[in-house]
């Protein structure tokens, strides 16, 4: 039995890089839809897809719904070694980025819609955002570190932007199999900081 055979038939297939609509801005969700049972069911199905495909976030366009909403997992890092990290699933509808930090950081990114690759991508270290939650309530947040990275990555999907479009050098795209050999890379391959930065971490040129 193949992985496709095992998949819940209710979960839509992933839309991958090269699909023309994935490279176009998505349409806003109509406000009267928020808080309805039908929209809640769509969010549940989007969450099922996120778990099925092992994502830490997923945007509606990635399963063929070309509308402006996504899910992301926010992680709170423990303050002491005795504490465990906490994760919370957040829904963002018609989100906006209203401000971002001047500081830029690098990180390895992957994407469910770009299977088999990782990219060394630079983004703002922090963002101030606003939008609506699943109930239609107005929400404003500030994200830093990896959480800021996830928000920006998923927000890009709503703008028709995939992370490979953001690489500053084609050599910053790496096959995920080669990522297993990072310890054997030259120090600055494919860029300063890339070899020693694990997935889920960020790196600054000031580090």
SS in 3 state form for 33-101?
HCCCHHHHHHHHHHHHHHHHCCCCEEEHHHHCCCECEEEEEEEECCCCCCCCCEEEEEEEEEEEEEEEC
3-state secondary structure of 138: strand
Q: How far apart are alpha carbons 71 and 130 in whole angstroms? A: 14
Domains (range + CATH), the chain = 23-184 (3.90.45.10)
* 74 annotated active-site: no
Q: Write down the pLDDT at residue 206.
A: 79
Q: Write down the pLDDT at residue 1.
A: 37
Q: Choose the catalytic residue: 83, 103, 154, 201.
A: 154
| Structure-block tokens of residue 26 | 């998505």
Q: How far apart are alpha carbons 155 and 58 in whole angstroms? A: 10
Q: Write down the pLDDT at residue 164.
A: 98
Q: C-alpha 4: how far from its chain's center?
A: 23
Question: Please, what are the averages of pLDDT over each run of 10 residues along the chain (207 residues)?
Answer: 57 96 98 95 97 97 98 82 81 98 97 97 98 96 97 98 97 96 95 96 87
Q: Write down the pLDDT at residue 106.
A: 98
Q: Write down the pLDDT at residue 80.
A: 62
């Amino acid at each position: 039995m193949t992985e496709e055979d095992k998949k819940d038939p209710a979960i839509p297939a992933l839309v991958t890089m090269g699909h023309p609509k994935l490279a176009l801005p998505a349409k806003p969700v109509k406000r009267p839809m928020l808080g309805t049972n039908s929209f809640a069911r769509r969010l549940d199905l989007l969450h099922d897809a996120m778990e099925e495909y092992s994502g830490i976030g997923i945007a509606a366009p990635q399963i063929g719904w070309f509308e402006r909403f996504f899910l992301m997992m926010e992680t709170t890092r423990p303050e002491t070694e005795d504490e465990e990290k906490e994760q919370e699933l957040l829904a963002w509808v018609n989100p906006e980025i209203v401000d971002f930090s001047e500081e830029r950081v690098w990180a390895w990114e992957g994407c469910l819609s770009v299977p088999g690759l990782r990219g060394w991508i630079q983004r703002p270290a922090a963002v101030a955002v606003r939008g609506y939650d699943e109930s239609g309530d107005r929400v404003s947040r500030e994200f830093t570190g990896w959480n800021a990275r996830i928000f920006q990555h998923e927000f890009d999907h709503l703008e028709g932007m995939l992370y490979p479009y953001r690489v500053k050098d084609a050599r910053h795209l790496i096959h995920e199999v080669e990522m297993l050999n990072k310890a054997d890379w030259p120090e600055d391959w494919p860029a300063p900081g890339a070899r020693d930065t694990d997935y889920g971490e960020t790196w600054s040129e000031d580090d």
